[in-house]
Structure 1
Amino acid sequence: MAKPSVLLILEGTYPYNGGGVSTWAHHLCNKVNNVDFKLYSLNASFEDEPRYELSKNITEVIQVPLWTPDEPYDYISYGEEYYKTVAKKEWTNDEIVAQKFIPIFRSLLEFIYSDDQEIEDLDIIFHQLWFYFEDYDYKDTMRNRHVWTTYRDTLSKFIIGERNPDASLIDITIGLRWIYRFLIPLSIVNIPKVDVVHLTLSGFPVIPALIANFKHDTKIMLTEHGVFIRERLLAISNSEYPYFLKSLLIKFSEAIARLAYYKADVIVSVTTFNQKWEKWYGADPDKFKIIYNGIDPDVFKPGPKPAHLKDIPTVVAVARVFELKDIFTMIGSCAVVKKTIPNVQYLVYGDNQAVPEYTNECLDLIDELGLQENFKFMGPRKDPQNIFLEGDLSILTSISEGFPYTVIESMGCGIPVVSTEVGGVKEALDESCGFTCKPKDTEGIGNAVTKLLLDKDLRKSMGKNARERVLKNFTLNKFVSEYETVYNNLMESKKANQKLAKVED
């Protein structure tokens, strides 16, 4: 008998890129045994090979590149018959676009910019968009002249003029290009029929989940890691985009986040911190559930420090080098520690070419502070269980997190942690296992690192407590069992609804 199936929808992560969400997804797909998985992977560009060895539980991988020069279906076949693809193009003309698409598109734009929004209306708009693209071509529609004039004229009512005097033609053009890219999943109408769609963020990947729901009445489940809208607001506020583009990104992202919460049948968070943001954006607390990330304590376990580092005070970090991890603050803390411990070593493992410009800025700061012998980027490695054993402690300086694996992995290895108190860090790391500090608090983080490096007994005590806390609360077995239960409950709910519908008919 075939297992029930789950479509896991991801963006920029598993199975083609690393990071905490990818670790979570890999655990899920390898260890959860009561379902089969299909992956729907949204990426910036077309990816040739998965970064991970895929579990036999994964029966299909659908990849949708959003920002390539050509359309996704120019790279990949999505199972639509050739005659239907040709027919869609033939049927898509000026009259059809003007009569059938433009009213929906105008409603979408008005919803984004309106201050009086009923989220049920956005659900209806996306249902109409899906229904339209079942019959008509995405590219020919979105590039039609009527779309540009409607976009221009509708926006002029809301944002052009005195309220936004710096909106240039190039800004407005870029805005439409963004909308084109965000909505590309609407062009992939052949969504597999599954029992549950499982979203991994409350952003634009909700679109394929909506299609599955419209087409097959599929249940939608959302797991929130870092809160999408919070991280989007942080990124936008730190960007150099002009006001018009910032406003468009914020308003569209907020609308999409609200829609994701509205449509989800279950909202799983990896930390209670997320639920405050979810409530702000209209999520129903009755849908909430907490499932903490888990690790295998037989893999992440205490061991000896490598001989070549035995007498060197060492701080390790496992972090992709980009703005959200705030490596600048980590470097600054190293300068603070060096004043007391001149031979301190900070070893940072992770992709340091993800954002080359940021890495170069980090290297400039290292040179400026004279830390060339103290702070080193070690590049990526696939054995974090051994990386943590290189350190006397581990460090995390992020300005935003969900429930970071690096913290509980370090704790599982019996290595105490110094971290910023972001996301669910304080739910994982209490005062018996390490120190938490405010984000960007260079002095406070540096002083906490110094205290731990100078006190061997404190490190030993905190490391022992950290391991015990993981064994009690954050094991992989507990994580797997809780997800299996949620999947079962959703599928039982769907069966009950189907039986009720039959009785009513």
Structure 2
Amino acid sequence: MIWRKTAAPETPLADITLLLEGTYPFVRGGVSSWVHQIISGLPQYRFSLIFLGGDRSHYGEQQYELPENVVHLECHYLMDPLVESKPKARKGNRAAFDTQRKLHNQLRNKAPVPKGVFSEIFQSLGRKGGISKEDFLYSEESWKVIDESYNKYCTDPSFIDYFWTIKIMHGPLFRIAEIARNIPPTRAVHAVSTGYAGLMGAMLKETRGIPYILTEHGIYTKERKIDLSQAAWIKDVTDKVSTNLNDDLGYIRKLWIRFFESLGRMSYQMADPIISLYIGNQQRQLADGAEPARTHIIPNGIDPGRFEGALAARPEETPMVMGLVGRVVPIKDIKTFIRAMRAVYEVIPNVEGWIVGPEEEDPVYVKECRELVSSLGLENCVKFLGFQNVNDILPKLGLMVLTSISEALPLVILEANAAGLPCLATDVGACRELIEGGTAEDRRLGSSGAVVPIADPEATARAATRLLLDKQRWQAASTAGLARVKQFYTLDSMYDSYQNIYDTALSAENREN
């Protein structure tokens, strides 16, 4: 799907092209909310949107009305068939596959990719003179590369599994290269993750000289590692599906993880600036190969005024309601929230737990969560409310709870604080910083809730009951959170930072032209 506004032919179609993998405008969540904020809050720039999805059946209707300054939207689904033609024997371009070997050797050694190698591969990927889609799928040279790598590196006993993993893993790169060659004119690109979107930004920087900005909310490679360590669709006979990233994993599972780590390193090599939301993620980027001078921290922000109504609507007595606002997916660890509710229910019989968020992304996991509620006898206590207007929900909650196993800087904590609602969160991402404060000045405001270990229902339940039943503790947390968000996490500060980033990129583009 491609949608475009009419643009004057003598000017670039867009100032900034956002590269969006599996998010805005088709999936709701923190990242999508942030994208919508950036576009709406910086109306002086024209935005083009490139949406990259996996299987097109996983995405439904558009979830956001596009702001007036969006001039282009196109959607691509990376799991669509790569070619429609029947297989046909072919030799393949030996020189092009040799260059591919050089790239793979650099990536295996975690070394920077020489610019000549990077440019040569991605300028010609999917074209005659390089590695065409047909050559990748059917040629003798492609078979040789896979056979050599299997014999030299693979410890998995199944060549068939290895063969199809390589085909499935690399197939989307051809579509990425084609999209990059055909995007409408733009003055700069801004990827909102590494992965395939980040790789496209790197391609555009290297092959077309377009300034490339990268923002990571969560660290993509870390989140993919979590997903892949648990993914049941990887049939790896030498490992066990695990929630512990330190467990031994099979070769195929590790191969997928190394693939996304490689995409991340290539993104870091080409992007300037490389933006994270807080110091912990910046340190992770540095450990993964980002150049220190190009890394920056820009926290998320919200408009506290938007939540004045929710703050005013808060009842005098604390509602005995624990709310989890987020997608019903494994990375949010909804099951720990449900198990914690069982323990809280033993102490506070009139407590309720509300799970507020979309359920379309992982129907199997949603079913498991509902079954867990039933098995624990919590049908009258735990409610699945689906997507709701957060302003309507916040005054009805007594505590915001995040049991995620991975987060960046979750907007839902800032929104809850702006509505005077204390928060309880796992010790991931910037959650401790948001609740207890980052700088010394920030910490003097006090704690706005509690921080608990990952996947610990008992600790979650103990912290929740203390906050819900201790009115003085609850009020102190409410006051601290409201002061923190007004002082350190406003939209105006975030907008000013990104305006400076965009103006710098557009100035660089003008100098190069």
- Cα 1:44–1:147, aligned 2, differ >3 Å: closer, same or farther? farther
Relative to structure 1, the CA distance from residue 216 to residue 175 in structure 2 (aligned partners, 3 Å threshold; closer, same or farther) is closer
Matched, 1:5 2:15: yes
Task: Establish whether residue 152 from structure 1 lines up as the match of residue 161 from structure 2.
Answer: no
Report the equivalent of 1:463.
478
Partner secondary structure for residue 75 of structure 2: strand
Partner residue of 2:5? none
Query: Match for residue 86 of structure 1?
Result: none
- In the alignment, which residue of structure 2 is the partner of 1:423? 429
Code of the residue aligned with 2:420 in structure 1: it is G
Measured against aligned partners, the alpha-carbon deviations of 1:234-292 in whole angstroms (never above 9, x if no partner) come to 22222343223212212211111111111111011111110121111111111121111
Aligned equivalent of 2:277: 270
- Aligned to 1:102, which of 81, 97, 106? 97
Q: Any conservation in 2 of the 1:213–1:220 contact (CA below 8 Å)?
A: yes
1:174 CA drift (Å): 2.8
Q: What code does the residue aligned with 2:149 have?
A: L
Letter aligned with residue 52 of structure 1: Y
Partner SS, residue 186 of structure 2: coil
In structure 1, what is the Cα distance between the partners aligned to 2:359 and 2:281? 28
Residue 68 (structure 1) aligns with: 80
Structure 2 counterpart of 1:327, from 320, 324, 334: 334
Residues 36 and 57 in structure 1, CA contact (< 8 A), matched pair in contact too: yes
Which residue number corresponds to residue 239 of structure 1? 231
What residue in structure 1 maps to residue 401 of structure 2?
Answer: 395
2:231 alignment partner, SS class: coil
* Aligned match of 2:247: none
Residue 305 of structure 1, CA deviation: 4.2
Alignment of 1:306-321 (within 5 A): 313-321=320-328
Q: Secondary structure at the match of 1:315?
A: strand
Task: Give the match's secondary structure for 1:94.
Answer: coil
For 1:80, the equivalent position in structure 2 comes to none
User: 2:468 & 2:116 partners in 1: Cα distance?
Assistant: 58
Letter in 2 for 1:415: L
Would you say the 8 A contact 2:135–2:142 is kept in 1? no
Q: Secondary structure at the match of 2:305?
A: coil
Percent identity between the two aligned chains: 27
Letter in 2 for 1:141: D
* Structure 1 counterpart of 2:391, one-letter code: Q
In structure 1, how many angstroms separate the alpha carbons of the residues matched to 2:289 and 2:307?
Answer: 38
Q: How many residues in Structure 1 have an aligned counterpart in Structure 2?
A: 470
Confirm whether residue 304 of structure 1 aligns to residue 313 of structure 2.
yes
Distance 1:214 1:256 in 2: 14
Contact kept, 8 Å, 2:401 with 2:423, in 1: the verdict is yes
Q: Supply the RMSD in Å over aligned alpha carbons.
A: 2.5
Structure 1: gaps spanning 5 or more residues: 75-88, 499-505
Specify the alignment match of 2:214 in structure 1.
Answer: 222
Counterpart for residue 441 of structure 2: none
Change (3 A) 1:33 1:311: closer
TM-score (norm 2): 0.85
Does residue 212 (structure 1) correspond to residue 221 (structure 2)? The answer is: no
Residue-by-residue CA offset, 1:435-486 (whole Å, 9 max, x unaligned): 1111112111111110111122322222122112111111112211111011
Shift of 1:182: 4.3
Amino acid at match of 2:69: N
> Structure 2: where are the runs of 5+ without partners?
1-9, 237-249, 437-445
SS in 1 for 2:72: strand
Distance 1:48 1:141 in 2: 34
Are 2:376 and 1:369 aligned?
yes
C-alpha contact 1:399 1:440 (8 A) present in aligned 2: yes
1:117 Cα deviation from its structure 2 partner: 4.0
Q: Cα distance 1:350–1:49, how it changes in 2: closer, same or farther (>3 A)? A: closer
Write the letter of the residue equivalent to 1:317: L
8 Å CA contact 1:316, 1:390 repeated in 2: no
The separation in 1 between residues aligned to 2:162 and 2:101, in whole angstroms, is: 19
| 1:304 maps to amino acid | A
Query: 1 CA distance for matches of 2:511 and 2:89?
Result: 44
1:119 corresponding residue in structure 2 = 112
C-alpha displacement at 1:152, in angstroms?
Answer: 2.4
| Separation of aligned partners in 2, 1:491 and 1:93 | 47
Q: Who is 2:385 aligned against?
A: 378
1:48 is displaced (CA, Å) by 7.1
Secondary structure in 2 matching 1:299: helix
Three-state SS of the structure 1 residue aligned to 2:204 is: helix
Q: Alignment partner for residue 54 of structure 1, among 43, 56, 66?
A: 66
How has the CA–CA distance of structure 1 residues 298 and 33 changed in structure 2, closer, same or farther, with 3 Å as cutoff?
A: same
Normalised to the residue count of structure 1, the TM-score between the two structures is 0.87
The separation in 2 between residues aligned to 1:436 and 1:12, in whole angstroms, is 29
Whether 2:189 is the aligned partner of 1:177: answer no
Residue identity matched to 1:22: S
Instruction: State which drifts further: 98-107 or 251-260.
Output: 98-107
For residues 376 and 356 of structure 1, the distance between their equivalents in structure 2, rounded to whole angstroms, comes to: 16
**Contact kept? 1:104, 1:125, Cα under 8 Å:** yes
Q: Secondary structure of 1:206's match?
A: helix
Measured in 2, the distance between the counterparts of 1:285 and 1:68 equals 38
Give 2:41's aligned residue: 31
